[in-house]
Amino acid sequence: MLKLSYATAFATFLNMGTALAQLADTTYLSELKKQLSMQWPKNRRINMVFHGHSVPAGYWDNHEVHTLESYPNLFLKILKAHYPYAVVNVIVTAIGGEGSISGARRFETDVLPHQPDVVFIDYALNDRFQPLEKTREALEKMIKAAQAKNIKVILVTPSPDQRIDISDPSNPLEPYAQQIRELASQFGTGLADPYPDFQKVAKDGKLKEVMASINHPNAKGHTMIVDRLIPYFF
């Protein structure tokens, strides 16, 4: 089995002994974690917005959208198991086929009105078709717009496309994954980095086991992304 089951993953993260948990800055969302722990009547609604392309939108194979089996809602399931008193809304503003340049144009109209506590931005898989410097400008625009309103941002590195050998360091996704890491460091955002995990799976010759289609993960693949999101919240 490539990854832990949800129940096992949840227990592992609670233990906080895994390498994954060590990679996240567990202080980044300290105030939000306090809010998530509060009980009625002191608690409040928490909004999580997932902005990006077809993967966070929930597309799998043959244009089917598996909303409940894709990482925004798999993340919600684990989060709620840890914070039973929290009122959490997962809001998906992702659009299949979109890149960050288009996503930045609609950020103020489609994302900010939801008053998110956290915005997850996941565009690198499609951004590889656009100039690196243009996607950087778009990502910076979204980060700055969120931070101007004190909204926390978590940038997400890409999941695979089976037409690309992601185990090859010269593959076309590599500079876009690296750019996301650089932006997270530059702007002090969170970074969810499942890309090296997928690279390892690819190197082991098991990439098909985590993919629903040529460029969309299955439940195992989406769980790998969740594994990099959830340490910020525990």
Taking only the tens place, the pLDDT of each residue in 149-198 is: 999 999 999 999 999 999 999 999 999 999 999 999 999 999 999 999 99
7 domain residue, yes or no: no
121 domain residue, yes or no: yes
* CA 147/CA 154 separation, integer angstroms: 11
CATH label of the domain that carries residue 98: 3.40.50.1110
85 domain residue, yes or no: yes
* CA 56/CA 123 separation, integer angstroms: 9
Matching residue, tokens 């926390």 = 152
Strand partners, 88: 46
Structure tokens at 29: 């969302």
**Amino acid at the residue 154:** I
Residue 204's Cβ-side half-sphere holds a number of Cα atoms within 13 Å equal to: 13
Are 173 and 124 spatial neighbours (Cβ–Cβ below 8 Å)? yes
183 domain residue, yes or no: yes
18 domain residue, yes or no: no
**Number of compact structural domains in the chain:** 1
46 domain residue, yes or no: yes
138 domain residue, yes or no: yes
pLDDT at 234: 93
Above 70 in pLDDT, residue 123?
A: yes
Q: Cα-atom radius of gyration of the chain, to the nearest Å?
A: 17
* CA 82/CA 72 separation, integer angstroms: 16
Q: Give the pLDDT band of residue 26 (cuts 50, 70, 90).
A: confident
Q: Give the pLDDT band of residue 126 (cuts 50, 70, 90).
A: very high
pLDDT at 25: 85
Structure tokens at 221: 């693949």
Q: Choose among 69, 106, 113: nearest CA to 91.
A: 113
Q: Give the pLDDT band of residue 24 (cuts 50, 70, 90).
A: confident
pLDDT at 71: 98
Q: How far apart are the first and last CA of the chain?
A: 25
13 domain residue, yes or no: no
Taking only the tens place, the pLDDT of each residue in 130-142 is: 999 999 999 999 9
Taking only the tens place, the pLDDT of each residue in 60-118 is: 999 999 999 999 999 999 999 999 999 999 999 999 999 999 999 999 999 999 999 99
pLDDT at 23: 58
User: Where in the sequence is the domain holding 149, given as residue range(s)?
Assistant: 25-233
Are 126 and 97 spatial neighbours (Cβ–Cβ below 8 Å)? yes
